[in-house]
Amino acid sequence: MKIILLGAPGAGKGSQAAIITEKYGIPHISTGDVLRANIKQGTELGKFAKEYLDKGELVPDEVVVDIVANRIKEEDCKKGFLLDGFPRTIEQAKALDKLTEIDIVINIVVDFDLIIDRITGRRMCACGATYHITTYSSDTCKACGGKLYQRKDDTVETVANRLEVYNKQTAPLIEYYKNKGILKDVNGSISIQATFEQVQKLLE
């Protein structure tokens, strides 16, 4: 089962990816996670990517395609995988077509105003836990007691820019995969579990 998750930043791709990969036993491949890990480690790739991400812009196609091409060759991808955050452009989609055949593209649909509220209210912990100021008011992590922080790219200005970039470069993928007959929309404005129930029906 080879799946792509589409949706604007903050649409809930990460939450759905975690549930899907656990239930169906396939790896979750997030190019964003790979790039952030490289940034944290201070690698050459990380330094290169950081210049783009700090401005809310996309990392060049050839870099991201290489990351994905190498990852899907690994042993744990033999039964399938879930791609989250890739492809982001038509060029990346065409490059992916040359690498493998995708079974289904799930497009998580959420209103942009709701996305801005979701992302700007998000608070993170170094342990990986994530909270939102509307449901958790403390600045201390429940899981480990660490100090919560807001990612530098979670400001209104950067989020608005990311959504604009998404509209220009990534939204055309919806039409691309619709024409291939493998795109399915789900409503991401509701709860995580209710969204997953829609996804599950599509996968089964």
Query: Would you please indicate which residues are annotated as catalytic (active-site) residues?
Result: 13, 88, 122, 151, 162
81 token code pair? 């995988």
Measured between alpha carbons, how far is 68 from 34 in angstroms, rounded to an integer? 10
Q: In sequence order, what E strands does 31-162 have?
A: 81-84, 104-109, 122-124, 130-132
Helices (H) and strands (E) in the chain, counts: 9, 7
Residues 6+ away with beta carbon under 8 Å from 183: 6, 105, 107, 174, 177
8 A C-beta contact, residue 12 and residue 195: yes
CA dist 182 and 120 (Å) reads: 32
Element (H, E) at 4: strand 2-6
Q: Tokens 């040359």 label which residue?
A: 98
Find out whether 195 and 16 touch, Cβ atoms under 8 Å. yes
Please state, in angstroms and rounded to a whole number, the distance separating the CA atoms of residues 105 and 16: 13
